[in-house]
Structure 1
Amino acid sequence: MKPYTRAERISIKIQQAITELLTKKISDPRIEMATVSRVKLTPDLRLASIYVTVFGDEDRIAATLAGFKNSKGFIKKHIAPQLGLKYMPELRFFHDDSFDKAARMDALIDSVVKDIPKDSDPGSGESE
C-alpha cells in the first residue's frame, strides 16, 4: 500500500509547480511575496484548494488573492504538463491564516509565562 493517496501526491506536485512559477515566471507585483503553504485536492482530482500565506493587512491579502485569480489561466497552462493528468483541476486560492493564529498563540503563551514568578518550582512538592 502506498503511504499517500494519489490526491496527496498530486497536491505536492501542484504546490511545487506553483512555487517554482512564483520564483521564476510570474511577475505580478501583487503575488510576489506570497508563499504557497498547502494544497488540498479533492479525491476525484477535480478541485484544488490552494492556501497562500501573505504578510500584511487585509488590503494586501485581498490584492494577492485577486492577483492569483487573474493569473489562474497562466498557472494552469504552465503546471498542467508537469502533472500528467487527464483533466486539470480547478484552482481556488485562499488565504492561509494559520501562521497568524500561531503567532497569536505564541504571544499569549509568552504573556502567561512572563507572569509566572521565576522562583516558584512546580515540581518542588510544597504540598507535603
Structure 2
Amino acid sequence: MAKSHSNTGGGPSQRQLRVGELIRRRLSEVLQRGEVHDPELQSVPITVGEVRVSPDLRLATAFVLPLGGQGAEEILAAMRRNRYELRRAVHKELALKYSPELRFEIDTTFDQMDNTRRMLAEERVTRDVDAPDGPDGDTSGWDDAD
C-alpha cells in the first residue's frame, strides 16, 4: 500500500508550519528594520503573531497587530498596500521554489486571551474552580490519584 502524502488530520502539515514560521520571522525582521519604505509601517512596532500557509505553499496569511492595538485597521491597510514589497523582501531571504502571495489579517489572539482572563475572573467561575467537591458537589469522574 502506497503512503499518502496528504494531510488527513485536518491540521497543517509540518512543512506548512515550518514555512509559516520562516515567513513570520522574516516579516518581523523586515518590519523591525524598516525595510519597507512606508512611514505608516515605520511609525509603530508591529507584531506578526502567526503566519498560516496553504497546503500548496502559494498563499500565506499573516496575522498582525500594532503595539497596543491602536490603529490596527490603518496598519492593516498599509500592510496590504505594501504586500508586493513585503513579498519580495520575504522571498529574497527564503529558499522557496515559489514566493507565496501574502495576505494580512488582524491578530485577535490577544483579545481572545483577555476575554478568557475576564471569564476566569468571574465570581461564578472562581467559585466552581475553588469548590473542593467539584462544580456541583459531584465528585464522580474526578481522579483522586492527583
| Cα-Cα RMSD | 2.5
Aligned to 2:45: 33
Change (3 A) 1:11 1:114: closer
Out of 54, 64, 67, which is 1:42 matched to? Answer: 54
What number of residue pairs does the alignment pair up?
Answer: 117
- 1:78 is aligned to 89
Which has the higher relative contact order, 1 or 2, with Cα contacts under 8 A spaced 6 or more apart? 1
1:117-128 matches, within 5 Å, as 122-123=131-132
Going from structure 1 to structure 2, the CA distance change for 1:123 and 1:33 (only over 3 Å counts) comes to same
User: Which TM-score applies when normalising by structure 2?
Assistant: 0.68
> Superposed, which structure 2 residues align to 1:82-97 within 5 Å?
82-97=93-108
The alignment status of 1:56 with 2:57, answered yes or no, reads no
* Structure 1 unpaired stretches of 5+: none
Query: How many Å apart are 1:113 and its aligned residue?
Result: 6.7
TM-score (norm 1): 0.77
Amino acid at match of 1:111: E
SS at match of 2:98: coil
Correspondence for 2:22 among 4, 13, 38: 13
Q: Cα offset for 1:22?
A: 1.1
Identity %: 28
**Contact in 1 for aligned 2:62/2:103 (Cα 8 Å):** yes
Report if the CA contact (8 A) 2:32-2:45 is conserved.
no
Q: Distance in 2 between matches of 1:26 and 1:112?
A: 48
Cα shift at 1:51: 0.6
Q: How far is 1:29 from its partner?
A: 4.4
